[in-house]
Every structure is written in C-alpha cells, then in structure tokens.
Structure 1
Amino acid sequence: MRQALKDVDSLIVRYLDNEATYEEKAKLSMWLNFSEENKRYFIRMIKTWERSHIYLQDEERASERFTHLRQLLFRRKVRRVVYGSSAAAAIVLLLLAVRFFMPLSGVSLLTAATSDQKKEVVLPDGSIVWLNRNSTIQYPENFTSYRKVYLNGEAYFDVTNNKEQPFIVETSDLTIQVLGTQFLVTNYSEEMIAEAVLESGTIQLMAGEAGEEFLLHPNQMFTYDKALGETRLESVDATNFTDWINSRLVFENTRLTDVFTQLEKWYGIRIECKDAGVLQTPVSFTIDTETKEEILNILQAVVPFNWKQKQLPGQIQETIAIFQEVE
C-alpha cells in the first residue's frame, strides 16, 4: 500500500511539472476519480507543490524537490510565505487540474438497468455491454476525450478498439482501463466481493482506496474482498464466467464453489454450502433451459450432497442450502 501511494505521489509530481505522458495522465485520472479522499489528497498535493516551487528554486534537483514535497505534505505546521502572484497561479492550476480530471457536471448520463432479465446495450462508440440481472450502467450520450461508464452489478464488455480514447469502467471499488478487449466485471454494492475476469486482450485495474494496480491477461480473474481489503489474482477458464451472455452456462472441470456462484446469478437465488469437500469437487455440464431444481438434482446424482430450499427472515431471494447429511 505504501508503494502504491509513493507511485501516485511520483505521478502527481510528473503531472504538476508538465512531464506526464498521455498514459500517465489517464492513469492519474483513474486514481483521482476513484474516491473523494483521492481528490482531497490531490488538492493537498497541488497546494504543497506551489510551496515547494517557492522553497526550492533549483529545478535541476528533481529528486530533492520530490523528497521535500513529501516532507511538506505531512508537516503539520508549514511556514507561511508571502508569494504574491504565485498564489494566483496556484489557484489557476488548482482549477485547471480539477476541471481536467473530474467528470463534467453538465454532462447528462444515460442509464440502462435490469431486474430479473438480461439486457444488451450498445454504447456510443459501438462497444457492446451485456448487463446481467439487477445491474445498472450509466454512460454519456457521446464520448469525448475518453470513454467512461459507471457500473453497479455485473456486465460483460466487448470494447471497440480505439488507441486514442481509453475505455474506463468505474464501480464503487474497481476502476478498469482498456483500449479494446472483452472482459467481465462484477461489483454489486450490496455484496462484499468484487471481481473482474478477462477473456481477451489486457486490462489495467485499480482496486481499493489505495489504488493498488494489477495488469490482467486472458483467462485471469481478479477478486477484491471489500471487508478485508484483500486481493487475489488467479488463472481460470473465462468462458465459465461469461457464457451467460449466450443464454447458457458451460462448465468444464469447474469447482462447485465457482459453479454455485454462477448459479446464484443465473437463477437469482442464494446458495449456502460450508462443506469444503463439496465446494472443491470439479464438474462438467451445460445449462440451457433447465430449472434450478433439475440442475441441483443432476448435480446431486454426481456429487454426494443433499439440498433443500429455505426462506431466511427478511430476505427476498430464495436460499438453497447444500449439505452432506440429512439435517
């Protein structure tokens, strides 16, 4: 986390010195828009940068200036300096920086949402989004310098390639940047796990308030535990997570723990299973039009477990309990 913050500090300094590349500006934009805390931190850095330019006139000593900048940032009491026109320059810089990075308030966003059904959405640049159940996506009528959408829930993205306009998916816990690729993002606000699965291309992902960075390659899944702040990157068969866009689910030697996760989304139910032996059992099958009862009975014939429906107090979703012995 400390290393991630140090990298952000270095990036901010490069931006303020007008040395940041387009890719670095886009990267900083992703981090800045991740949270209000990041925006406040950025503003503090701008103010401190102005002081550092007054205190340090040796422009050739960039590393020393950066060290001094960090010291100033965390110093509780900073010596007051009268710097005349520099104050005005700092205000202009602050306004320009905030305007450059923050979403324009006047831009109207279109909203597409689902409840019990799935939906295909075509974005202004031709990119296609498949929304899963109970998901919402917001996007502008027209993309400008970069393409950015806001997601709550689960969606599969087939992004049109455009090297001049990065494509950004922002959720409450993840920020993903791509040029053109196919990937899945899952981040329901009421759930404690956020995920991203890459099918083709590459994606750059930032997670958590610290903006920890990850680069995903095809058939990799990223998982972020919101409660613990823990991250995990593992190899998977991406089609096991994305085939729902074809109105079917295909599992090939897939652990039941992953199967149950997909069944929950497919049928809009909750599945409870605490038996590690059952959860780690690999299975292969395909779902087209079968009911949840038919699928559970088929699995029950292959894997030694029992199941029953139960209704938890205050819960609307139906819950399926999986166990090995009759309770």
Structure 2
Amino acid sequence: MNGNTQKELKCTRYLTGEMEPEDRLVFEIELSVDEELLKLFRDYKTIWQLYPQTEFDQSDSEIDNSSPARGWYKKLSKPILGLAAVLLVVVVSLHFFKGSNSLIHQITTAKNERIRILLPDSSEVVLNSKSSIEYPDSYDEIREVTLKGEAYFKITKDKQRPFIVHNNGFDVKVLGTSFSVNTHTDQKKISLKEGKVEVLIKDNNDKITLNPNEQLLLDTNKNRVIKRNFNVHTELSWVDNLLILENLPFKEALTKIDSFYGVRFIINDPHIQQQRITGAFKDQNLEDFISSLEFITNVKVIYDEACSCYLIKAIKND
C-alpha cells in the first residue's frame, strides 16, 4: 500500500469513527504537521458532508453492531473514495464556503479548451483556456462570480439583482449585458459588446462606466488605465473558437495567441517581433496552429522544456 493510499484510508477511518481513541489522537497530531494530509482530509470531509447519514438505508443486516459507524462506512467507503479521487483530479469541483451552506461550483479549463456554462440565473458564460470560475448553485440578492483568466458573459437582465464579476484588482458590475473579461496578463481587459458595465478599481475605488464597443485596459505594472474603442469581431472571435490576427506585429499577436491556446510563445529575434501577421484560425488545435503559423510566417516553432514554452525562431538558410 503506497503512502497516498494509507493517508486516504486514515481519513476515511477517522470520519467513519472506526479509529480507536489513541489512533485518533495520533492522527490529529499528524494533521498538524503534514500539510498534504491536512489538505486531503479537508477534501474528504467536504465530500463526507455531502452524504449525511440519514439519507442512507441502514438495515440491521448491513450494520455491524460492534461499531456504530461500521455499517455506514461499508456503504459509503467506495463512493467516498471514488468521489475524493474525482475531487482531486478533475477540473470541475464542488465545495462549501466556511460557515455557509451555499454550494459553490468551481470550473477550470485546460490549455486549448473552451467551455460554455449556464449559470443559475440562466446567464451564459464562455470560459477561455487556462481559466477558472466560481459561482454558487443559487443566487439571492446579488449575483456573483469569481474569475481568473478570461471569460465572455451574456447576462440575463434583472434590475433587482445586479451581477458582479470579482477579479484580483477590480470588480465588474452589470444588470444585463454582453462583455468579456481577460486577466491573463498584467494588462487586464474589460470589453463591452452590449449594454453597460461599471468597473470598480479596488486600489483607489475609482468607478469607470463602459458603453457598447468600449474597452478598458488596466495596466498593473505601470498603474495606468486606458479607455478606448475596440473591434468586437476580432477581439471576441475566440468565443466561437476562432482566432483572428489582423495585420498585427508578431510580438503583439502573441498576447492573443497565448490567451487562445493557454500556452506561452516567446520571440527573442527583434526582426521577427516586428514582422506583421494576418490570419484566421478556426477550430485548430495547437499542433495544427503551429504548422499553419510556420507556413505563413516562415519561422520554426520549437518547444523548450526549460521554460515550458514555445520558442519562435527564424529559419536559417543553408
């Protein structure tokens, strides 16, 4: 039995009441010194709380009277172990806020993955690659989500309940509208397609209102805010799994490419950085995109394990 399996068994036996008092004391001491075990135990405890004892049929034939919890453990141990594995490895998880009974959904996308989500109020979200979102299973007075990365929102109108997107550094408040938020880089972007949004910048409590076809750039490195018009078609094409590069310097195009595929491309050659690129890439996976990129720009793309990134280099002519 490997170390992880032993830890999983300890967590299960502790929660089911199968541990002897002296073993429980030792386990609690281990929790205080082993961060990995503590995290695993918290995950198991969350799942355990999802399955209250009263929901299960505990007939006398299934319960071992020598231990009050043993019958419950027999019926729940396999589901719990399976659910715990799911909780730890899949990108969609459920957990509870401390001190609250509100169930929170957390969804995370992998690289080159985009998914559509329907929120409890029927608002729609498209989550871009390498991004995550958290939202409750129901809304009360305020509709809220927390976003890391990039997402496009189409919000159901509800004048009585505003919709707020929380991010690190700013919040976006809306009533009913279509817009995108991108926090992948140091230059955050809020792009409004329809309706009206109010952006609250947390550092100075400034409030900035956006109208349709307006975009707000928040440069965290330079502490600068820019409000400008933008091209809705090219900026939001990723929602339809389409990457559009329209006569952009290669260096500038990398920002869109990185966000679209959830990986990092690097150009060290100044000449290639200024080379302009135009193209539309529909439903292409990363491998096909790299092949297309090499063909239309006459470069070579090489994966570098040292930086976990793709290096774009000039092709040397013999």
- Structure 2 length-normalised TM: 0.59
Q: Which residue of 2 aligns with 1:39?
A: none
Root-mean-square deviation (CA, aligned residues, Å) is: 2.9
Determine which of 299, 312, 317 is the counterpart of 1:321: 312
Q: Which amino acid aligns with 1:311?
A: D
Secondary structure, in 3 states, of the residue corresponding to 1:227? coil
Secondary structure, in 3 states, of the residue corresponding to 1:250? strand
Q: 1:124 to 1:153 in 2, by over 3 A?
A: same
Q: Which amino acid aligns with 1:292?
A: F
Alpha-carbon shift at residue 259 of structure 1 (Å): 3.0
Q: Distance in 2 between matches of 1:260 and 1:282?
A: 10
Secondary structure, in 3 states, of the residue corresponding to 1:134? coil
Q: 1:235 to 1:254 in 2, by over 3 A?
A: farther
Secondary structure, in 3 states, of the residue corresponding to 1:244? helix
Q: Which residue of 2 aligns with 1:38?
A: none
**Contiguous gaps of at least 5 residues in structure 1:** 1-102
Q: Which residue of 1 aligns with 2:291?
A: 294
Cα deviation, 1:46-99, whole Å, max 9, x if unaligned, reads: xxxxxxxxxxxxxxxxxxxxxxxxxxxxxxxxxxxxxxxxxxxxxxxxxxxxxx
Secondary structure, in 3 states, of the residue corresponding to 1:180? coil
Alpha-carbon shift at residue 254 of structure 1 (Å): 5.0
Sequence identity (%): 23
* Residue 225 (structure 1) aligned with residue 222 (structure 2): no
* Residue 146 (structure 1) aligned with residue 142 (structure 2): yes
Q: Distance in 2 between matches of 1:154 and 1:171?
A: 11
Secondary structure, in 3 states, of the residue corresponding to 2:172? strand
**Contiguous gaps of at least 5 residues in structure 2:** 1-96
Contact 1:273-1:323 within 8 A present in 2 as well: no
Alpha-carbon shift at residue 242 of structure 1 (Å): 1.8
Q: Which residue of 1 aligns with 2:206?
A: 212
Q: Distance in 2 between matches of 1:169 and 1:233?
A: 19
Contact 1:248-1:286 within 8 A present in 2 as well: yes
Secondary structure, in 3 states, of the residue corresponding to 1:265? helix
Contact 2:250-2:272 within 8 A present in 1 as well: no
Q: Distance in 1 between matches of 2:296 and 2:115?
A: 29
Secondary structure, in 3 states, of the residue corresponding to 1:126? coil
- Structure 1 length-normalised TM: 0.58
Contact 2:186-2:219 within 8 A present in 1 as well: yes
Determine which of 307, 311, 325 is the counterpart of 2:304: 311
* Residue 129 (structure 1) aligned with residue 129 (structure 2): no
Q: Which residue of 1 aligns with 2:168?
A: 172
* Residue 250 (structure 1) aligned with residue 244 (structure 2): yes
Contact 2:143-2:162 within 8 A present in 1 as well: yes
Q: Distance in 2 between matches of 1:166 and 1:279?
A: 44
Q: Distance in 1 between matches of 2:258 and 2:240?
A: 17
Q: Distance in 2 between matches of 1:192 and 1:298?
A: 31
